[in-house]
Structure 1
Amino acid sequence: MLTNSSDAACSLRGFPGVSFVGDDNGTQIGAPATRRDDVEVTRVWLTPGTSAHASLRIAQAGNYDPAQCQPSAVDGFRVYPPDDTASLFIRYPQPTGCRSASVTLLTVGPLTR
């Protein structure tokens, strides 16, 4: 969820960038999230204090051959708002990621209200 903490309205359009991170230092674990191509992308207008969110699907690392996946504990997510180079960290140490970039566990939808 991204919240407008400014005093002015703003807008966002598109997909956040999302990756697992780990190793207690923010190292990206595996492939970044792929973007859903089955949903419409629209501009989201946020007045001060309002929020937008995106759906995130997480596949289970245990569904893949360990030799291909290279299972790894994760600390959480690195999230980039659309058209931004500054990232946010969201602690979420429960899932297991795949170190291999050939396995994509994350799928993200566009921002909505």
Structure 2
Amino acid sequence: MRIKAMSLVSSGLLAGVALAACGKTGVVNAEPAAISSSRPHAAASMASNSGPGGNGGTALCTVDDLSGGTKPDDGGGAAGHEGRFVIVTNMSGSACALKGFPTVAFSADSEGTLVGSAFERMQSDTPEKIVIQPDKDAYISVLLADTGAEGDDCEPTHVEGYSIQLSGSDHKLIVKDMQTACSAEGKGVGQIGPFIQGTPE
């Protein structure tokens, strides 16, 4: 399994998630008022330019193709939840495709050590395959549970951010967004939507 972690640096516009190929680490805080950004120096995977599985013959994106970041979703919270966007940018030289829901969980560190339960999918959203051109974006909506409302059974712990696995891959993209999360299974479980093309406002 390859893990890619990236550091995030605050910016007023879009930016990057923390990604790192196996053996490389780097992490960053997501600023609450801006999108965090970072761009990896690793070359994009050749498989992303030639492999099958995307839209109309477009290869699926890999973690080597993507940079990304986080941004508050000020209007997307729900009762007992805080809204957040995770945004990815295609840093490769070719279009690549994303499909459906990624698998998301809290990560204790830049190595992808999982904490608590994997996030649940928002069933109200319909997943689609999307194609992102070079330097263009896609994003997922995230709802973070209020750990304080979970009581003592929550077993709160510090986490570095999120572990994200793209559909059809076991490689991890680590997005740093330091916070407190429930380590107990089934407590404080977040929710995610599918990938959507574009940049959230």
TM-score tier after normalising by the smaller chain length: 0.7 to 0.9
Report matched runs for 1:3-18 at 5 Å: 3-18=89-104
TM-superposition CA deviations, 1:28-72 (whole Å, max 9, x none): 110011111001111111111111100000011111121x21111
CA-CA distance at 1:99 after TM superposition = 0.9
Does the CA contact (< 8 Å) of 1:70 and 1:99 recur in 2?
Answer: yes
Letter in 2 for 1:85: D
Does the CA contact (< 8 Å) of 2:158 and 2:180 recur in 1?
Answer: yes
Structure 2 equivalent of residue 92 of structure 1: 177
What is the TM-score of this pair, normalised by structure 1? 0.88
Report matched runs for 1:1-113 at 5 Å: 1-22=87-108, 26-66=112-152, 68-93=153-178, 95-113=179-197
Q: Whole-Å Cα distance in 1 between the matches of residues 193 and 165 of structure 2?
A: 13
Distance 1:81 1:40, change over 3 A: same
TM-superposition CA deviations, 1:75-99 (whole Å, max 9, x none): 1111112222111111111x21111
Q: Whole-Å Cα distance in 2 between the matches of residues 48 and 27 of structure 1?
A: 30
Letter in 2 for 1:12: L
Q: Tell me, what secondary structure is at the counterpart of 2:148?
A: helix
CA-CA distance at 1:104 after TM superposition = 4.2
CA-based RMSD: 1.6
Q: Which has the higher contact order (CA 8 A, sep 6+)?
A: 1
Distance 1:25 1:4, change over 3 A: closer
Q: What is the count of residue pairs matched by the alignment?
A: 111
Q: Percent identity?
A: 27
**Which sections of structure 1, spanning at least 5 residues, go unmatched?**
none
